[in-house]
Amino acid sequence: MRRLLGQRGGSGPGNSSYPAEVLLRCLLLGVWHDLSDPALETAIADRISFRRFAGLSLHDRTPDHSTLWRFRQELSQDGLVDRVFAEIARQLEANNLVLKRGVTNTDNLFDWFAKCSGDGFAGAGNKLERHRGAVTLMDAAGKAVRTWEFTEAYPVKWSGPKLAASARDLAVEELEVCHCGFTSKS
């Protein structure tokens, strides 16, 4: 992605420029949350989750709305908008999806993994059980913001919670899923 974006911003008087990757992540947040540039500026300054995703610490300056607008215009003028989104899709398809959740009283993720490995795999005639699925990003009010659907998926790794009496962490299980592609829906 860095190679595709190249060196952005010039050297000269004024404030130092932001790395292109940070600005791109900010623009993605704006698209995913349907925010205008001024609203995005405010959200990046106020929300720790936005700062974290963008790669900005609590002490970093945040880009203002005009910086975000100029970066979007620069990407458009250089014909990079479609290429950037194609690269994001390529990277999503090239990597496994890792699902994490707090441990609940349902074993559906572990059961799916068990059917695709060891005795479960042998019992199924050494055939993988592939599924379609979706991951939905929710806002603080529980409203769906964006959904990514994946196809032809099967689990390749499961890990359960670290069981230590002295640990104060939440019990989390993790399932790594190999898939054949994503589509995005808002």
Residue 11: per-residue pLDDT = 53
Candidate from 21-35, 57-71, 111-125, 161-175 with smallest mean pLDDT: 161-175
Co-location of 43 and 109 in the same domain: no
* Range of the structural domain that residue 65 is part of: 2-90
Co-location of 86 and 101 in the same domain: no
Count of the separate structural domains present in the chain: 2
Co-location of 162 and 111 in the same domain: yes
pTM: 0.52
Cβ(108)–Cβ(177) under 8 Å? no
Co-location of 103 and 83 in the same domain: no
Of 90, 111, 130, which residue sits at a domain end?
A: 90
Co-location of 39 and 58 in the same domain: yes
CATH number (domain holding residue 166): 2.30.110.20
Q: Whose CA is closest to 61, among 96, 5, 2, 15?
A: 15
Of 61, 90, 119, which residue sits at a domain end?
A: 90
Looking up tokens 């106020």 gives: 46
pLDDT band at 172 (very low <50, low <70, confident <90, very high): confident
Of 72, 90, 108, which residue sits at a domain end?
A: 90
Co-location of 31 and 106 in the same domain: no
| Cβ-proximal residues to 20 (8 Å cutoff; 6+ apart), any chain | 2, 5, 6, 7, 8, 9, 71
DSSP SS3 for 20: helix
- Per-residue pLDDT tens digits for 86-102: 787 677 666 788 877 66
In whole angstroms, give the CA distance from residue 138 to residue 30.
15
Co-location of 10 and 85 in the same domain: yes
